Chain A
Amino acid sequence: MTPALERSGRGALLRDLRAGVRTLGLSALLMAVLCGVWESYRWMGQRLELTWPFEINERTMPHTWDMVGQLFEPAQRNGPLLIEILFDAALFTAREALVGFVLGAAIGFAIGVVLAHSRLLQRGFLPYLVASQTIPILAIAPMVVVWLGGNGAPAWVSVAVISAYLTFFPVAINTLRGLLSIDPRALDLMRSYAAGWWPILWKLRVPASLPYLFTAFKVAAPAAVVGAIIGELPSSIQDGLAGAILNFNQYYVTSPPSLWAVNIIAALLGIAFFAAVALAERLVVHRRPENVA
């Protein structure tokens, strides 16, 4: 047995667990350092009465503990805690983002597969694919809402479609790259079995491009959350995180930490999406450890 063989089995699980705990600890430490930097800058700025780049006060830089503390205050007198409201809002947005992510990933994957099989389509289609992403999502969102809303679809469906619009692009590009980056001899092997394009796709191209796909998914998952939040704006949906952001934007002067609190929740949602993809990757991709990004 070579040392490499010990990578499989229970030893690997333990090591994974230990590595996970270390990563979490490191993240917590980094978060503490960032909060420390924020608070020290705030303290120094107030001492030195800085006016550049901006004046430092409760409005421009609320205390970090106030942001977190705000989550556990009632949003309105005698109402539920802010964190409960935001949790519901995050769930609502998460549903749109999840549907958008799955839809966008499926469409992106399909586009990648089609383009990988035709150089002609690739040349003709790719510029439009790139162009699609240069159009601001805010310009497209109202149209989607008008098109789908006119057919009586619930508003959140339009939002999911807008979210999918942000998701499909990285997935399509990376699928294409992954499917084309096959070792030519691995392809020769398939040809020596007289394999058609279908088995070549599912037994070689797709499994070989899984690392590319998951890289795309990791980019696309938080983008799907952003897409959902942006999509909620022109749909005038009040139940999601966008509603909360607009709302606390208006009250920023009276309660600055509230908007920051919403940002924390929105970020956590994005991180949760990323983490879900990273976990799925660990379960699905069995590659040389150094090859897993």
Chain B
Amino acid sequence: MLFARGNVQALADIDLDVRPGEFVSLIGPSGCGKSTLLRVIGDLVEPTTGEALVNGKPARRARLDRDYGIVFQSAVLYDWRTVAKNISLPLEMDGWERGRRAERVREMLELVELTGFGGHYPWQLSGGMQQRVAIARALAFEPALLLMDEPFGALDEMTRERLNSELLRLWSMMGATVVFVTHSIAEAAFLSTRVVVMSPRPGRIAGIVEIDLPQPRTIDTREDPRFFAYVTEIRELLRRGGTSSAAPGDAALAGGGQPG
């Protein structure tokens, strides 16, 4: 897969398999194309060559079938809609009838612990609450795949850690596959079953770290020595990423093709 915008090649030779139910993080310095890769999966941009398969079908088909939900760095809530109406937006697009929509919205509000805030407008909520609404919106129609583009990047460290735990709780409940873009090493190590480390110019995979920490992960996970070992491993990969041709650490990664 290769993605070029203007004369700048954003991605080259990306070959990545994500298994159902996995939580995969894409991490790397700015400009490594991790967000672009996410947008390729969501068919929000088209790769110049190669293709992305989602649920075994081309990304375009998957988008048209509404196979994934997406969460951006900012909540991107519609200002003129109440919280409840924002969550019900994808359901409206899917043609759900009113009663069923209201029922699902209630469930989702409960799930992200915002019961009672349905009638509020987005600008009346804190940043962390807004992002929880965005997650509820993305999960409302139970997509098989959840794409998250630095969803907690704009939040303070404490809110971020709390939302990390909440996200894992939702993930284990819904059983969706998650592809998660981040630039926080600790966040990637804490959340993921696998961390894909990327290097820039052009964006490519520098290595993959399998995170074999027990589920469910809790506050204690963050103090587990193995957690620190993974953090160190990811950091090392990031540091060497630009220069070394780090050997792929996972069978699912197969290098190949000609660089751009």
Q: Do B80 and A192 touch (CB < 8 A)?
A: no
Partner of B123 from A183, A188, A207, A288 at Cβ < 8 Å: A288
CA distance A285 to B90 in the complex (A): 22
Q: Mark A217-254, 1 if CB is under 8 A from B, else 0.
A: 00000000000000000000000000000000000000
Say how far A168's CB is from chain B's closest CB, in angstroms: 25
Chain B residues with CB under 8 A of A5: 120, 124
CA distance A233 to B120 in the complex (A): 51
Partner of B93 from A8, A186, A195, A288 at Cβ < 8 Å: A195
Say how far A288's CB is from chain B's closest CB, in angstroms: 4
Partner of A192 from B42, B74, B120 at Cβ < 8 Å: B42
Q: Which residues from chain B sit less than 8 Å from chain A, CB to CB? A: 39, 42-44, 63-66, 68-70, 72, 74, 76, 78-81, 89-90, 92-94, 119-121, 123-124, 126
CA distance A287 to B123 in the complex (A): 8
Q: Do B121 and A188 touch (CB < 8 A)?
A: no
A286 at the interface (CB under 8 A from B): yes
Beyond the given A189-B76, A203-B92, please list 5 additional residue pairs across the A-B interface where CB-CB is below 8 A: A5-B120, A5-B124, A7-B124, A191-B44, A194-B63
Q: Do A185 and B76 touch (CB < 8 A)?
A: yes
CA distance A237 to B98 in the complex (A): 53
Q: List 30 A-B contacts (CB under 8 A).
A: A2-B124, A4-B123, A4-B124, A5-B120, A7-B124, A8-B119, A8-B121, A183-B76, A185-B72, A185-B74, A186-B76, A186-B78, A188-B42, A188-B44, A189-B70, A191-B63, A192-B42, A192-B44, A192-B69, A193-B66, A194-B63, A194-B64, A194-B65, A194-B93, A207-B80, A207-B81, A208-B79, A285-B80, A286-B80, A287-B80
CA distance A7 to B125 in the complex (A): 12
CA distance A177 to B248 in the complex (A): 49
CA distance A203 to B93 in the complex (A): 9
Chain B residues with CB under 8 A of A204: 78
Chain B residues with CB under 8 A of A194: 63-66, 93
Q: Do B124 and A199 touch (CB < 8 A)?
A: no
Query: Which residues of A in the span 163-205 have a Cβ within 8 Å of any Cβ on B?
Result: 183, 185-186, 188-189, 191-195, 199, 203-204
A162 at the interface (CB under 8 A from B): no
| Residue in A closest to B126 when the chains form the complex, CB atoms | A2
CA distance A275 to B42 in the complex (A): 46
Chain B residues with CB under 8 A of A199: 93
Say how far B168's CB is from chain A's closest CB, in angstroms: 23
Q: Do B80 and A193 touch (CB < 8 A)?
A: no
Q: Do A208 and B119 touch (CB < 8 A)?
A: no
Chain B residues with CB under 8 A of A288: 79, 121, 123
A210 at the interface (CB under 8 A from B): yes
Partner of A207 from B39, B76, B78, B119 at Cβ < 8 Å: B78
Say how far A290's CB is from chain B's closest CB, in angstroms: 9
| Residue in A closest to B82 when the chains form the complex, CB atoms | A286
Chain A residues with CB under 8 A of B42: 188, 192
Say how far A156's CB is from chain B's closest CB, in angstroms: 37
